[in-house]
Structure 1
Amino acid sequence: MALQTGLYYPYVHLRDESWAKAAALYWRNMARVVPAGFPVRDREVVRELNQGSDFLVDKDPRLATEVVAPAFIAAVQDNAEVLRARFAVEGRQFTDWRSSPSLASTARHLTGLYPPEVSHELVAALEETGLARWEHRVGRRQTSWVVVDPALAWTYKCALTQELARQTAFAPVTDQLSAYAATGHWTPARIANTLLGRAVPTIGRDSAQATVAMMAVRCVLPADLRHVPAEKIVRLRTEYADEFAAFTAAVEAATTEVVGATQEVTDRAAFELHLQGAFDLHVAQPLESLRKAINGLKMDTVYSTLTIKPEATLAGAGLGLWLGGTATAVGAGIAFTALAARQAAARERDTLVAASPAGYLLRVEKELNPATVLQRASRVVARASGVGI
């Protein structure tokens, strides 16, 4: 069964509005790590996506924090001196991460972890090593933070999310490209190597499905999603459930095939070539074949025939007056025949869309890409007749 819930990381808030819209076109739900009491302040677009389709699912990481803590404590204690030399918090300024450009920032400013997302034992170990301190902010509400270096916060959030993904069977997904290399099992050695810049990039098997899904959705989206209303995204999510199910099954087939066939592959670039090949086979080629098949139905020609009437020209108008009722009957017959032909073509198109794993993508492409005035008018009439895509 295809996974239909992504697990966003390493932040709480979805930071890229266009990415959020694209993600909503594939993931049935998007879970995110929200510690108890965290002050969530989503952007308006994200709130609209959520209100229209219950897109977001908040997950408390409390149980995952207890599982992740021992490996981090071991990494800190085994490498205390070198980590302190690089990530000590003494004399450095704290910047609330909601206003910081990136957790992985190399700036000297510190960032904060929300206390309920870090175990007491790990906080104590970080404090003892000089890698963390407490900060208390007073504003509209008093807030406390465990203040650390951005690189340490980034590594911790990735590891915490990976454990939560294991517990929930959700698929880790992110809009931060560097974080894709942070999936996989987090041992003390890997934590230390990541913090010290010695980590070998992971192959990407854990994020393969998320990668293929976003590749697929992106290939049919308009260049600038910022101007696409959130309500259009919500409607596509809710109206085309059958096509969506076929599409998610195709994505799962592509990723399952690649992951199963590349267990011995240790080269990330080679793995990505295999992933691209599976994407082409299971998604891109079916989409192109579907486009060609639908274009072959000549529905635009049928539509043009449907809208032509004898009264469209002066000569036609005169002929109509001379023939009287006969011209009206002939025109009605032509229109009826054209409508029947278009309805037959529409039924064949719907059969093609329903049978193709790329049918959902074609729906998305038709709905979201800008159309000419003539194309928009055509769609309005077609939908009114019950035959529009």
Structure 2
Amino acid sequence: MALQTGLYYPYVHLRDESWAKAAALYWRNLARVVPAGFPVRDREVVRELNQGSGFLIDTDPRPAVEAVAPAFIAAVRDNAEALRARFAVEDRRFTSRWQSAPRLSPTTLDLTGLYPEEVPGELEDALKEAGLSYRDWRQMVGNQQVSWVVVDPALAWAYKCAITEELARRTAFAPVTDQLEAYTATGDWTAERIADTLLGRTAPMVGRETAQARLAMMAVRCVLPADLRHVPAEKVVQLRTQYADEFVAFSAAVEAATADVVGATQEVTDRSAFELHLQGAFDLHLAQPLESLRKAMNGLKLNTVFTTLTIKPEVSVTGAGLAWLLGGTTTAVGTGIAFTALATRQAAARERDTLVASSPAGYLLRVEKELKPATVLKRAGRVVARTAGVGI
């Protein structure tokens, strides 16, 4: 069974509402790192996604923090001068927020803050002694005043990624983020690698650790409407629960695609090559089955219509009523269509459900059909199609 819980990072609050909806269509649960006492202020859309479904799980990072801190302390103390030249906090402004995923070098005068519960005392002392941090009490979260350990955004970024990696190891949750740059910041965060990463002495990791999360989001994104902001959160919650069987098959396909990528790239160190392997696995396990399912469903509809038009019409009250609804030119034709549609409804419905349930892309097709807005004409046609047992 594929992993069902993602581990969101590097923030507490989900920044992108559209991304949050897409994530809710794949992850059964989404854990996020919430230090003890942190004042959570979720957006309304996120609260709606979480209401009644338990989508979000707050995870205390303290055990992971205690495991990661010694490596950061060693990296800071062994490389204090070089780090201070790049990440010194003197005469720089504290904004408390990251505008986007920062590069691992200073690109702005603005500083960000780490919540004190995420920074053990010895690590804070090491950062302060190296000129890499100070404490600030001015910033507010909601109506609550919060103390922050103020640092360069790139340093905070690396620290958050290291905590996430340790949490993932301890929980078997899959790291996932709405910040694409963060996908390169996974791996074994030793003191040497921390220093090499912060000082630009190493290339980004290939990204095998986040292959599952990336494949899952690629698959979901490919069937979503362009502007997901207008899709109600309750519709997403409904899809999460209504098509459980199709979801299981889809999850298994993502797991298989992930296994292919990881197995084929064990010796790959070139990121561009890894991306090609990732795209190939996506095409084989998800994109191609989705296209095949679309064609099969279209073929089912055509076959049903062909059967409807060739079976001998028989007069019935229901047929006459449907002929009037369809605006048929003759009662006989309308009656024949109605009779055959009703006669083949159950068989076509069974075939439709079998096609969707047996395909690893069945869940994706459900999402595509349910979330893409239809015109009035398409909605009217869908009513007739469902009556004939061929609509999804």
Give TM-score, length-normalised by structure 2.
0.90
1:194 aligns with 2:182: no
Partner residue, 1:268: 271
1:108-157 alpha-carbon deviations (Å, 9 max, x no partner): 11110001111111111111111111111275323111111111111101
1:23 aligns with 2:23: yes
Asked if the contact 1:103–1:111 (Cα under 8 Å) also holds between the matched residues in 2, the reply is no
Asked if the contact 2:101–2:179 (Cα under 8 Å) also holds between the matched residues in 1, the reply is no
Structure 1 residue 199: Cα displacement = 2.3
Partner residue, 2:114: 113
Partner residue, 2:99: 101
Q: Per the alignment, in what secondary structure is the counterpart of residue 382 of structure 2?
A: helix
Partner residue, 2:132: 131
Partner residue, 1:226: 229
Partner residue, 1:59: 59
- The amino acid that maps onto 2:43 is R
- The amino acid that maps onto 1:286 is P
Partner residue, 2:345: 342
Distance in structure 2 (CA, Å) of the matches to 1:113 and 1:120: 13
Structure 1 residue 273: Cα displacement = 0.9
1:297 to 291, 300, 307: 300
Moved more, 305-314 or 173-182: 305-314
Asked if the contact 2:102–2:157 (Cα under 8 Å) also holds between the matched residues in 1, the reply is yes
Asked if the contact 1:32–1:58 (Cα under 8 Å) also holds between the matched residues in 2, the reply is yes
Partner residue, 2:87: 87
1:318-375 alpha-carbon deviations (Å, 9 max, x no partner): xx7xxxxxx8xx9767523311213321210100100000000000010011212122
1:157 to 157, 160, 177: 160
Partner residue, 1:172: 175
- The amino acid that maps onto 2:133 is A
- The amino acid that maps onto 2:305 is T
Partner residue, 1:37: 37
Distance in structure 1 (CA, Å) of the matches to 2:327 and 2:76: 84
Structure 1 residue 377: Cα displacement = 2.1
Q: Per the alignment, in what secondary structure is the counterpart of residue 285 of structure 2?
A: helix
Q: Per the alignment, in what secondary structure is the counterpart of residue 185 of structure 1?
A: coil
Q: Per the alignment, in what secondary structure is the counterpart of residue 357 of structure 1?
A: coil
Provide closer, same or farther for how the CA distance between residues 206 and 164 of structure 1 changes in structure 2, counting only shifts above 3 A. same
Q: Per the alignment, in what secondary structure is the counterpart of residue 94 of structure 2?
A: coil
Structure 1 residue 95: Cα displacement = 1.1
For the aligned residue pairs, the C-alpha RMSD in angstroms reads 2.4
1:195-229 alpha-carbon deviations (Å, 9 max, x no partner): 12222111110000011111111111111111111
Structure 1 residue 379: Cα displacement = 3.1
Asked if the contact 2:101–2:181 (Cα under 8 Å) also holds between the matched residues in 1, the reply is no
Distance in structure 1 (CA, Å) of the matches to 2:205 and 2:144: 40
Q: Per the alignment, in what secondary structure is the counterpart of residue 110 of structure 2?
A: coil
- The amino acid that maps onto 1:111 is T
1:74 aligns with 2:70: no
Structure 1 residue 314: Cα displacement = 9.4
Q: Per the alignment, in what secondary structure is the counterpart of residue 71 of structure 1?
A: helix
Provide closer, same or farther for how the CA distance between residues 42 and 304 of structure 1 changes in structure 2, counting only shifts above 3 A. farther
Structure-to-structure mapping, 1:256-335, within 5 angstroms: 256-298=259-301, 301=305, 308-309=322-323, 316=330, 335=338
Asked if the contact 2:110–2:152 (Cα under 8 Å) also holds between the matched residues in 1, the reply is yes
Distance in structure 1 (CA, Å) of the matches to 2:376 and 2:322: 18
Distance in structure 2 (CA, Å) of the matches to 1:58 and 1:138: 23
Distance in structure 1 (CA, Å) of the matches to 2:43 and 2:99: 16
1:365 to 362, 365, 368: 368
Distance in structure 2 (CA, Å) of the matches to 1:256 and 1:349: 30
1:5 aligns with 2:19: no
Moved more, 251-260 or 83-92: 83-92
Provide closer, same or farther for how the CA distance between residues 347 and 126 of structure 1 changes in structure 2, counting only shifts above 3 A. same
Provide closer, same or farther for how the CA distance between residues 315 and 26 of structure 1 changes in structure 2, counting only shifts above 3 A. closer
2:378 to 367, 375, 379: 375
Partner residue, 1:207: 210
Give TM-score, length-normalised by structure 1.
0.90
Q: Per the alignment, in what secondary structure is the counterpart of residue 148 of structure 2?
A: strand
Structure 2: gaps spanning 5 or more residues: 310-318
Provide closer, same or farther for how the CA distance between residues 315 and 224 of structure 1 changes in structure 2, counting only shifts above 3 A. closer
Asked if the contact 1:303–1:342 (Cα under 8 Å) also holds between the matched residues in 2, the reply is no
Asked if the contact 2:307–2:340 (Cα under 8 Å) also holds between the matched residues in 1, the reply is no
Structure 1 residue 52: Cα displacement = 4.2
Partner residue, 1:324: none
Distance in structure 1 (CA, Å) of the matches to 2:259 and 2:122: 39
- The amino acid that maps onto 2:264 is A
